[in-house]
Structure 1
Amino acid sequence: MIVRALTVWVASQTSKPTSASVARKRQERGTLLIPLAKYVGSVTSPSFNLVMDVQFGVKNTNFGHFKYGDGIVEFDYRGTKIGQTNVYEAHARALSTKKVDTSLYLSSNELKGNS
C-alpha cells in the first residue's frame, strides 16, 4: 500500500509577474507537504484500520506571512478515499514551514472486495 498526498490546495495561483501584478497587493501562496508512507509485506487479510498521529508542514515561500483557512486533507488508494483529517485555520511565517500535528484514521472498508 502506498499513500500519497501532493499539493492539495493553493490559496492563489501566482503567474509570471507583470507590471500590473507588481503594483497590486502581494499574492500569497501555500503548499501542503506530506511525507509518503509505504508498506511492503504480505498479510492474510487484505484489510486495514489504523489511527496515526501525523505531522505535516505548510511551506510558505513568500516574504510575507501566509494565512490559510480550515480545510480537509483526503487520502486515496487507487481512486478510493481511505481516510481524511482536518486542517484548522492558522498562518505560516515568512519563508518558513508551519508544522501541523493531527490524528489520521485510515480504513479499507470502502475498498472494492472488502465486506
Structure 2
Amino acid sequence: MAASELQHEQALKKFLAERPELLHQLDNLNPLLAQAKGETQAQFREERLHEAFEEEAERLGLFAWELTLQLTATTPQDYETQRLAVHREVAEMAGMDWLEYCDLYGIKP
C-alpha cells in the first residue's frame, strides 16, 4: 500500500523542520507570484514545498513516496519492509514479474 496522505503530511512536516532555510524561504514568498498564478499564498507555498520535497527525493535517487516512507518509518527495517511492499504492489499493477521489476529498478528482493 502506498504512503497515506497522513504519512505524507507527517513527512512534509519533518522535512521542513529539518530545513530551516527552506522554511524561511517559504515564509517569505512574494505574494505577487501567487497572485500571478491565480493561487492563494497558501496554495503557492504548498506547491513550492512539494517541489522542494520532490527535488530532494530525486537528489537522493528516490521516488517521492519512498522519501515519505523514509521520513515516517520507525526503523530502517520498517522503511525497507514498506518500500518493498509498495514496489510489489506497483509491479503487480503493471503486470510485471517481480524479479524482472526488481532488475529494472535495481531493487534487491
TM-score, normalised via structure 2 length: 0.23
In proportion to residue count, which structure has more helix?
2
TM-score, normalised via structure 1 length: 0.22
| Structure number with bigger Rg | 1
In proportion to residue count, which structure has more strand?
1
